[in-house]
Structure 1
Amino acid sequence: MSDYSSHFSVSRFWKKLRGGATKMGVDLAYSALVLYYALQDPNMPSWAQAKAYGALGYLIFPADAIPDWWPGGYTDDAAVIATAVAAVAMHIDDDAKRSARSKLRDWLGDDADGATLLT
């Protein structure tokens, strides 16, 4: 797969997640948020940062393998995010998970409580 990290931007990430958290599903939204918040840790190694930025860049890239507006359009995004989460799992701390769940709760209320990491 190509490197999509150059497609990542903070503003596009927040726009995509804020507007599409329900449509993409709580598990995908939660996992993407966990990756984002894990990137805030200055101790995350550069190889893990590259994986996370690449996955988040793929999520917000408008012309990925399956367009998001097609039925099942987030399937490829979920696979990419799950692969990144699994690869960097040892660098995801509880603070990142708490921050992600809190943000998801802000957007979705109680629907966020059942969200789990894609792996």
Structure 2
Amino acid sequence: MDFTLSEDQVALRDLAARILDDATGDDALRAFADSGRPYDDKLWKTLADAGLLGLGLSESAGGMGLGMIDLGLLLEEQGRTLAPVPLVPTLLAGWALDAHGTVGQWAWLPRLLSGEALLTVAI
């Protein structure tokens, strides 16, 4: 088996790394920790503007329609940088809504893509 990343996957990983590295230096993380905020809303908006919040959503929902490896690359960069953003719960909820939601629930997806909404799932 060949586990080499495709050019698109390398580009995705590099984009995520660049955005997250720029926002999570030691001083930025210390300032965030002292702020009392639940997540870094500026970084969240930057991820949305780059289209990274739509990684796993279908193209018909406005996303990129990518898979688990691509999502893993983004999450690996988040973990590497300790980026204080709610990627796992929001992207998981977005996937669930995209795949199994009602027409009314799909109305949340554009808000997720724009970074306006944070979502989560209850199990």
TM-score, normalised with respect to structure 1: 0.32
Higher relative contact order (CA 8 A, sep 6+): 1
Tell me the TM-score normalised to structure 2 length: 0.31
Bigger helix share: 1
